Amino acid sequence: VAADGPAEEARVRIPELNIDAVITLDDGRGHVVFEALPERWSPDTPKLYDLEVEAGGDRVHDRVGFRTIERRGTELFLNGKPLFLRGISVHEDDETVGKCTSEEDLRRRFADARALGCNFLRLAHYPHHERAAEIADELGFLLWEEVPVYWAIDFANPDTRRDAENQLRELIRRDRNRASVIIWSVGNENPDTDARLEFMRGLVELARDEDPTRLLSAACLVNHAKLKIEDRLAKHIDVIGLNEYYGWYEENFDELISIGQNSDPDRPVVISETGADGDHTDLGPKSGLFSIDYQREVYERQIETLRELSYIKGISPWILYDFRVERRQNVFQRGFNRKGLIAADKKTRKPAFDVLRAFYAEMREKDAAE
């Protein structure tokens, strides 16, 4: 417990667990250990408890869940049970109102993720609105949250590092009481240079100091010469994120099969991005690149390949909805990234949606059987 103003003690209440304790504060900080047997929070049972903290005349109320997340070798465990992350990546974006969000939009996003069979969302590539994690707590979704250490930023610039550290620290302090958040990510698709490694290791150390209870990740790299997962950052994090677009940007799909066979990671891998553009409009092609039929085929081949790799412990394909992006200008994209499983109207589901939904239903049944 930490108090902003002058206070000698704080009172903590969790009525449903019969907890009512007074904590002595020293310079605004205090520590207490409770004995309790709370019902564990999980996607299947997203149990939350009312909590109230009072100090110095101020009173704060929250609803919190209790759960554990850990990795053992290449396995993930939630509350001691094996976990496979059935996920999707999402942006804060809307075809009509732009780069913003609302309660309605957030709840629609989670409803579509539920229809897809997800238990997990990757909130890319920046801190999303604080209501996202609060609603995920309520509805029972696991979250990957990250800061925009994206592509080739100036890793040698002290101001850049201070900015990244500040954003990561603020994100962790804002959402560290959210049961839904299981992964902090420190970066996305960065070139493996000495400056980048030092920068990212610093973020990892900061995150562990701020919150030693959650897993750390980043979207790491593939060595395309050796065709294997290889990134010096990997040994410093808990979960290897991997963005791969075999069948799309990398046309030779057989290389993904080779990467799977050549790689032998000692920790779990989550496919943090994969997918293909599908133009669902009347202007879209009926077959081949940019067709929704080709997008479906890419998902079928990805699933066929990835399901055979025992160290793959989750997938969050790119992306739930089509979204505007200025750099995507061609006859099929026309200012949109069209990798969405649902079109930008947030209503029209493409055939790949059903392919992934069927796979996630299969994985859910497998988890239930275990």
Evaluate if residue 330 carries a pLDDT over 90: no
Using CA atoms, how far residue 254 sits from 64, 221, 250, 333, 354, in Å, is: 46, 18, 10, 26, 24
List the domain boundaries for the chain: 9-64, 69-369
Look up residue 273 and give its amino acid. E
CATH class of 69-369: alpha beta
pLDDT, tens digit (0-9, with 9 covering 90-100), for 230-281: 999 999 999 999 999 999 999 899 999 999 999 999 999 999 999 999 999 9
Residue 197: predicted pLDDT = 95
Supply the mean pLDDT for the chain: 94
Evaluate if residue 317 carries a pLDDT over 90: yes
Per the DSSP assignment, residues forming a β-bridge with 349 are: 342
Confidence of residue 2 (pLDDT cuts 50, 70, 90): low
pTM, entire model? 0.94
The reply to whether 69-369 shares the fold of 9-64 is no
pLDDT, tens digit (0-9, with 9 covering 90-100), for 11-42: 999 999 999 999 999 888 888 888 999 999 99
Using CA atoms, how far residue 229 sits from 106, 234, 248, 293, 334, in Å, is: 34, 9, 19, 29, 34
Residue 327: predicted pLDDT = 84
Residue 345: predicted pLDDT = 96
Q: Which fold has domain 9-64?
A: Immunoglobulin-like (2.60.40)
Residue 326: predicted pLDDT = 83
Number of Cβ within 10 Å of residue 98's Cβ equals 10
